[in-house]
Structure formats: C-alpha cells, structure tokens
C-alpha cells in the first residue's frame, strides 16, 4: 500500500493571522539558525534526537540572550536553572526522549568541550524532552552520543517535519505527533525599526487535550489516551530583545499551544525556550564591558502575536506531516485535515 503524501497545514487550509511566514516558514528563517536530526527506528524502537544551533559561530564564547517559560513542569529540562539565572544560552539545544536526556547531554559535551577556550572547564548544556514510550522502547535508551554527533553533522536550513528526530515516537491528541516548525516576519513598518525581523518556532508535540484547528474541533481517535503528554517549544528571533523581554515572548509560546486545544494537563511537561541571536547583543567574554541595544517594551506586541502564530502553526505542522504509527496493538493515525 502506498503511503499517503503528507502536507503542511498551510498547503491544506487557509491560515489566519496578521503576519506572513518567512521564505521557508521555518525556524531557520532566522538568520544563523540550523537544525539537524537523527531518527532511530527498528523493531520496537521509534525515537530520535533533534539538535538546534541557535546562532552562527560559537555560542559558548558568544552567548545569546535567552529565557524560559514553564506551563506545567512535569518534565526534565537540563540547563534550565542557569538559563533562568543568567538569561543566556551557551550551547546547542538538544531535544530527545525522556530517558535519553543523559546521552544527548553527553553528546553535546563531547561536541563543545574540545572547542572551549583554555581555562573554561564547564558549560551549561540545554536539553529538553518528551516521553515517547507509547511508540518506543524508551527504557532501552537507544539514543547514544554518536547519534548527537550525527545530528550535528546534519545541521541545515532544511527542517524535516513529522515523525522524525525527537518527534519520531511522539503522540499528540491521540494522533501521531512529531516535529514541526514555522516562522513569521515582523516588518520594520510594524515594529518601528529600520529593518524586518523574523520569529521562528520549532516544536516537539507529545501532549493532549481537545484538538482544535483554528477554532474547528477534531475528535480524538483515542480519547482515553489523549490527555497527558508534553511539549517542547523553541522560539528564536533575530530581533534585539533582552532576557526579560524574551521571558515574556516565551510565555506567548504557551498561548500558541493552548490555542490548539491543550489545557496543559497534570502529566504534561510544557516548556518554552526563547532566545535572540541579534549579533550586536551576543556577549563576548573577552570584552569586559559593552553597549547593548534592545527594543522598547512598547514595541513588543507584534513579536508576542508573531510568536503565537508561529508556534500554533508549527504544532499543526507537526501533526499534518506525521505519518500514523503503532506499537503493542495501539495505533495512532496521522490527522486527516481534509474534513475541515
């Protein structure tokens, strides 16, 4: 039987909103951002790793402003406390399954450590996760540091979506979940700046609730199994935003998630990482002091709205591009958006 060709949500429906997507409608529309993924599928194994490089060059020596927001904290987000404390990210960002966090952490240490300057003996690695045990032998811990190296070697502006990478074994609303991405352009005319800025989102969807697609409900194929889960959301922008402003942007990522029908259930780990790779605001430890330029708070509303739009569409893309999969007698189909 021939597999049905999956299409992004924008190819299936008219997408409402006030902002246009970037060229790829992807997080990689933000200059300097790349994504690499490895998918591991075998008998009983359905998992993977997704690596996001949030800026060009070395993030460790030229850190970027960042912040995080937590919807429901039933999850494991390595590095979160230091990002919260210092307002910076200094590593590539890893996504995987819950019990493979340690392997991805080690893989990112293996990548960064040889490049660290003399005298710098530690690094704050950021790794997020969701639990893919419904489709994957999660306790087998099948992700290794070698998979991380492979994903880093595959870093690209092209982002595959659906049942790939860290989204290979995820389930969302009782349907097959996965990796999704989208972007929005905030023009200078709107922001009051002399240039356009981009907001990009990448998601790992593995959560539940009552699926709603731009106001239209879609019933779950397995209501009893559609409530719990988790979601990792990464929002990146080239706009000059401070850590405090990025914290507020991150909170709007959760709005994009709830717009899809999630109420962030008890068993859900819902986290948003937001960062700005605006070159002028990257901290260089070799310089003892410097000037920064951040937008005023009065300019933030377009970025809040663009974040909501991008995250919501990225989540729908994660569903639209995911092929159905099953394990142990349970099957989670891909969403059929044609009924809408």
Residues annotated as catalytic (active site), given as ranges: 230, 268, 270
Cα separation, 323 vs 317, whole angstroms: 12
What lies within 8 Å, CB to CB, of 336 at 6+ separation is none
Report helix angle 101-112 to 145-153, nearest 10.
Answer: 60
Contact indicator for 154, 39 with CB cutoff of 8 Å: no
**Alpha-carbon dihedral sign for residues 242, 95, 326, 2:** positive
Cα separation, 132 vs 162, whole angstroms: 14
Q: Percentage helix, strand, coil, to 5, in the chain?
A: 30, 30, 45
What lies within 8 Å, CB to CB, of 52 at 6+ separation is 27, 33, 34, 35, 92, 93, 94, 95, 202, 234, 236
Residue with token string 């710098």: 120
Contact indicator for 315, 6 with CB cutoff of 8 Å: no
Cα separation, 332 vs 172, whole angstroms: 9
Cα separation, 182 vs 30, whole angstroms: 11
Residue 115: CA count within 13 A, CB half-sphere: 15
Cα separation, 315 vs 236, whole angstroms: 15
Contact indicator for 39, 168 with CB cutoff of 8 Å: yes
- Tell me the two tokens of residue 268: 């859900």
């Amino acid at each position: 039987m021939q597999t049905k060709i999956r299409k992004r949500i924008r190819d299936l429906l008219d997408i409402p909103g006030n902002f246009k997507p970037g060229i790829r409608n992807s997080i990689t529309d933000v200059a300097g951002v790349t994504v690499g993924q490895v998918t591991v599928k075998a008998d009983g194994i359905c998992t993977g790793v997704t690596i996001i490089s949030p800026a060009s060059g070395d993030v460790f020596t030229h850190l970027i402003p960042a912040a995080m927001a937590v919807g429901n904290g039933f999850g494991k987000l390595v590095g979160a406390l230091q990002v919260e404390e210092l307002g910076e990210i200094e590593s590539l960002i890893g996504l995987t399954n819950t019990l493979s966090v340690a392997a991805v952490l080690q893989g990112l240490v293996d990548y960064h450590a040889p490049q660290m300057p003399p005298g710098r003996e530690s690094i704050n690695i950021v790794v997020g996760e969701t639990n893919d045990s419904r489709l994957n032998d999660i306790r087998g811990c099948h992700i290794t540091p070698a998979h991380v190296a492979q994903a880093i070697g595959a870093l690209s502006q092209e982002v595959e979506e659906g049942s790939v990478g860290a989204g290979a074994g995820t389930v969302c609303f009782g349907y097959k979940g996965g990796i999704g991405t989208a972007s929005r352009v905030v023009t200078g005319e709107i922001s009051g700046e002399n240039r356009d800025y981009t907001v990009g989102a990448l998601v790992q969807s593995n959560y539940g609730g009552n699926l709603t697609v731009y106001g239209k409900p879609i019933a779950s194929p397995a209501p009893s199994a559609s409530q719990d889960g988790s979601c990792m959301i990464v929002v990146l922008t080239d706009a000059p935003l401070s850590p405090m402003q990025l914290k507020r942007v991150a909170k709007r990522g959760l709005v994009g998630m709830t717009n899809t029908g999630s109420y962030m259930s008890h068993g859900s780990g819902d986290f948003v990482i937001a960062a700005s790779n605006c070159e002028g605001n990257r901290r260089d430890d070799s310089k003892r002091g410097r000037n920064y330029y951040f937008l005023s708070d009065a300019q933030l509303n377009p970025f809040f709205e663009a974040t909501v739009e991008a995250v919501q569409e990225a989540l729908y893309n994660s569903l639209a591009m995911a092929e159905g999969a099953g394990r142990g007698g349970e099957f989670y189909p891909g969403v059929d958006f044609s009924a809408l």
